[in-house]
Structure 1
Amino acid sequence: MRQHKIIDITLLSFMFLLISVAVQAQNERKFVRMGNKLYEQALGDTTKQDTAAYSQAEVAYRRALDKRPDDQKWNFNLGDALYKQQKFDQAQSTYEEVAEKSEDKVEKARAYHNIGNSLLMQNKLDESIEAYKKALRNNPNDLDTKYNLLYAMNQKKKQEQQQKNKDQNKDQNKDQDKDKDKQDQNKDKQDQNKDQNKDQNKDQNKDQNKDQQNQDQQNKQNQDQNKQQQQQQPQEQKISKENAERLLQALQNDEEKIQEKVKKAQAAQAKQRQTDKDW
């Protein structure tokens, strides 16, 4: 990402000031030059991020600004030192002061450009895009700002796509959870039906066992009854034979008596017919 570099103000002439003011300005520029030297020294070392040197440059710029707080060029350099220390929110505030107070459009554009960079490093994409647009309104031909604007817009597009994918995955997981809940409900219902069928089968088996027990008991009773009848049959047959003999004897006796009566009756009839003849 491209950053507008520090402004070197050491060549400005203050010959029109009074001698006392010139001496004071010389002291202020001494701090600025010190800050610039530390800044350039840290910037030239590409092997590491020398935050200590940037911090020392910040101190030097602040000492100069204590004497001239309204110098926007020095404020701009202070913002750069803060930015290099990754104090992006403080750098943003410093650049915003420069952009607000500066009347030079190019300087204002440079300030908005660095505001956009500070916001971008804080992942505030919408705000950084707006800052880059403000920079281009003041300096439409700034290629660095155009490049950074496109970069921020692409980052926003990626972020939106990632959020869209995240929402889709969330919805998909939600649907999967819904299907899982439905499957769990079906499983619970199946288990419930299984338990119900198990209870029904248990009751049915219990009734069947009870019926079987009753049947077995009835069969046992029938067997006992049949056995008892079989045990009683010989006695009944023996009694029946004795009774038959008695009955036969009685019939014979009765038959003899009947025959005797018949003979007597026949004799009486014969005697009567003979009497009738004699008449």
Structure 2
Amino acid sequence: MKRFLTISAFVFTSTALFAQAENTALRKGNQLYKKGKVTEAEAEFTKAVQQNPANPTAHFNLGNAQFRKNAFADAEKDFANSVANNPNNAGLQQKALYNQGVSLSKQKKLLESIDAYKKALRLNNADEDTRVNLQKALEELRKQQQSQQQPKDQPQQQQKDKQPKPEPKTNKKRLEQQLKSLQQKEQEIQEKVQQNKSRSGSQPEKDW
């Protein structure tokens, strides 16, 4: 899955005379980003955003840098700002929506990511990465909904398992029969003891 897009193609969008300072920051940020110096690049892109908050490219590039630092919530906001400030450039808008969708997926905001992917596909229905990511998000959402439904039935099942199981009737009858047999034997022994006592008491004394 493609997690972020290159930013070199989207550095210069404003006129040099009107936005020389922000273009300089974008150029420096782009060079640092290519070298893997993401933190320094993020600082330059932040400068560009501060110099022109309505620059969609500055927001897009800043979002990419933040994504590389796993700051997905911040990246999501800057990609959204890139879309909001870019009503005319469909190409950049589609890529920003795609990146926004990936950032949302990373935060497990599946409904929002699905919406972003759908909007990106409306701008470019031939983008295979967006289509694949949309399918994955839909599948993950389906699994999440299924797992949320299962725990509702589990407590009832656990309660059933905790209830004592009735003893089989055959075992109960067998125990009753054994108990009766023991009682009868005990009674017979007591009767024999009583008989022995009565016999010993009735015998005549020996004549020595």
TM over 0.5: yes
With structure 2 as the length reference, what TM-score do the two structures score? 0.75
1:87 to 62, 67, 71: 71
Name the CA distance, whole Å, in 1 between partners of 2:121 and 2:13. Answer: 28
Residue identity matched to 1:5: T
Q: Does 1:134 align with 2:114?
A: no
2:92 to 89, 95, 107: 107
Structure 1 gap segments, 5+ residues each: 18-24, 43-52, 232-279
Runs of 4+ in structure 1 off by over 6 angstroms are none
1:116 to 89, 101, 104: 101
Is the contact made by 1:129 and 1:149 (CA closer than 8 Å) also made in structure 2? yes
Q: CA offset at residue 159 of structure 1? A: 5.1
1:217 to 166, 189, 197: 197
Q: CA offset at residue 178 of structure 1? A: 4.0
Larger relative contact order, structure 1 or 2 (CA cutoff 8 Å, min sep 6): 2
Residue-by-residue CA offset, 1:156-189 (whole Å, 9 max, x unaligned): 455567x39x949x85x937x8467544x539xx
- Which residue number corresponds to residue 35 of structure 1? 29
Is the contact made by 1:8 and 1:36 (CA closer than 8 Å) also made in structure 2? no
Residue identity matched to 1:213: V
Change (3 A) 1:14 1:34: closer
Change (3 A) 1:143 1:179: closer
Name the CA distance, whole Å, in 1 between partners of 2:16 and 2:161. Answer: 79
Residue-by-residue CA offset, 1:179-227 (whole Å, 9 max, x unaligned): 67544x539xx69x959965x66654443333222211222244x1xx4
Secondary structure in 1 aligned to 2:167?
A: helix
- Which residue number corresponds to residue 9 of structure 1? 11
Is the contact made by 1:39 and 1:57 (CA closer than 8 Å) also made in structure 2? yes
Secondary structure in 1 aligned to 2:35?
A: helix
Residue identity matched to 2:5: H
With structure 1 as the length reference, what TM-score do the two structures score? 0.58
Q: Does 1:75 align with 2:64?
A: no
Q: What is the RMSD computed on CA atoms of the aligned residues?
A: 3.6
Q: CA offset at residue 120 of structure 1? A: 1.4
Aligned ranges 1:190-201 → 2 under 5 Å: none
Is the contact made by 2:11 and 2:30 (CA closer than 8 Å) also made in structure 1? no
Aligned ranges 1:168-179 → 2 under 5 Å: 174=157, 178=160
Larger Rg: 1
Name the CA distance, whole Å, in 2 between partners of 1:82 and 1:69. Answer: 17
Residue identity matched to 2:6: K
Is the contact made by 2:60 and 2:82 (CA closer than 8 Å) also made in structure 1? yes
Name the CA distance, whole Å, in 2 between partners of 1:93 and 1:81. Answer: 13
Name the CA distance, whole Å, in 1 between partners of 2:92 and 2:135. Answer: 21
Name the CA distance, whole Å, in 2 between partners of 1:10 and 1:100. Answer: 18
Identity fraction in percent: 28
1:152 to 103, 120, 137: 137
Structure 2 gap segments, 5+ residues each: none
Q: CA offset at residue 82 of structure 1? A: 0.4
Q: Which has the higher helix share?
A: 1
Secondary structure in 2 aligned to 1:186?
A: coil
Name the CA distance, whole Å, in 1 between partners of 2:45 and 2:195. Answer: 112
